[in-house]
Structure 1
């Protein structure tokens, strides 16, 4: 059930047309999850500041049942940083990545939960 939420100051017109599909493949591989369960949400045109500046920045959230936490997040953070930077041009020091490990019973899908 990974959900990859990316909020960016980047204008919608400047986002590559295939970005969400690339992001879906990327996060599925990074977390070792089937892409068929991945949701990607890109929210462009955000009015944001980071570190007291309105230079291009982002806010990233990764929700997952397992596959995140502890030392794993260092690797995930590095890979996500490189991905966002290479695809959207946002420097890796211009956003935080927040990891949320969701309990199976706290994620609904197809009329039930993953519990």
Structure 2
């Protein structure tokens, strides 16, 4: 299970039409997981203020069952590069929060991953 949530101050019209499928493939490859376990959610038009400025900014969350922690520094670099290239939001204009979810805390298809 991978859930990639991206809150951004930029308007919906500035989100490329292929951003969702590209994000899904990107995060699946980053984590080495099948894409059918990936959910991507983009929330545009957010009223946000980061670092004393209202320049384009965001807030990112990555939830995964296991394998976070040691890899977060590498993930941060790659996610930063991806979002800066695709959305034009500078890497110093968003934070990434990682959530390592226990198997029994994630439901899917009428059961959990435990």
TM-score range with shorter-chain normalisation?
over 0.9
How far apart in 2 are the matches of 1:92 and 1:69?
20
TM-score (norm 1): 0.97
CA distance in 2, matches of 1:21, 1:10: 19
- In the TM superposition, structure 1's runs of 4+ consecutive aligned residues that sit over 6 Å from their partners are none
TM-score by length of 2: 0.98
- Tell me the CA shift for residue 90 of structure 1: 0.1
- Matched ranges for 1:87-106 at <5 A: 87-106=86-105
Distance 2:8 2:67 in 1: 25
Counterpart for residue 46 of structure 2: 46
Task: In structure 1, list runs of 5 or more residues that go unmatched.
Answer: none
- Number of matched residues? 114
Listed as ranges, the gaps of 5+ residues in structure 2 are none
Q: RMSD over aligned Cα, in angstroms?
A: 0.5
Indicate the residue corresponding to 1:29 in structure 2: 29
Taking the aligned partners of 1:60 and 1:101, their CA distance within structure 2 comes to 14
